[in-house]
Structure 1
């Protein structure tokens, strides 16, 4: 592979890495929001249960108890649903983190390959220069011998 091809591959890998970093950032924000909302709903459910426990202690009608139970069930469902949403958001965040890690590894591998190729090219250039210097010295020596 030529140096320009490797540079192009590196640019593409860096762009993919940057996109993966943005995806991780978005997934983290979504996961944080989902966990926060789950916590808010769970807290509200606890407060709701405490308020109604106090209300029941002072006496209430059966129709109000029915309303409490109905709303409590819907609130439980909402908390459970939000818990699932939060877990899925965490899983998406984990996958995004893994994708970023893989993209960073590709960038590092390409940089290492480019560095290795540059070092090889430098060594080859140094060998060519040394051969040219040796040939020049040998010819100069032969000329001096011929003139002597």
Structure 2
């Protein structure tokens, strides 16, 4: 079994979690943008409605019409406020999703760093084993080869 296999599985899992966090962050950003757009549309509509009816009230302003206008404006103001709260909540969700995404990015980077360290450890261990084998082979070769006596050129007695 590959000694890095569990770490590679962990990396795959953390990358999947990061990808899911990225998707959630994108969805949260889209929801925030939509909520902001709706709040802006409601504000524009309310402004246009006020302008249209203020001109109407300059020419004639029957009391029942004024009451109807005020009731609708109250409901419209409530709708604007509610949509602004939805947009604010969506902004909070975007920030939470961004923080979660950053945390997942850190986890992925940490696992990658751990894998790199393990690879270095495995390389170092393999190098040490190879060096030990080379040293042992050299030592055996030295013992197996007869040595010459200095000056005579004859094999020395052991």
Q: Give the CA deviation at 1:25.
A: 1.0
1:117-132 → structure 2 map (5 Å cutoff): 117-132=118-133
Residues paired across the two proteins, number? 147
Q: For each residue in 1:38-86, what CA deviation from the matched residue of structure 2 results, as whole angstroms up to 9, or x when unmatched?
A: 0000111111111111111112201110011000000000000000000
Determine the structure 2 residue equivalent to 1:12: 13
Determine the structure 2 residue equivalent to 1:24: 25
TM-score for the superposition, normalised by structure 2: 0.89
Q: For each residue in 1:115-135, what CA deviation from the matched residue of structure 2 results, as whole angstroms up to 9, or x when unmatched?
A: 100011001100110111111
Q: Give the CA deviation at 1:140.
A: 1.2
TM-score for the superposition, normalised by structure 1: 0.95
Q: Which runs of 5+ in 1 are unaligned?
A: none
Higher RCO (CA 8 Å, separation ≥ 6 residues): 1
Determine the structure 2 residue equivalent to 1:35: 36
SS of aligned partner of 2:60: coil
Q: Which runs of 5+ in 2 are unaligned?
A: 149-154
Please identify the structure whose Cα radius of gyration is greater.
2
With 24-33 and 135-144 compared, the bigger mean Cα shift is at 135-144
Q: Give the CA deviation at 1:146.
A: 5.2
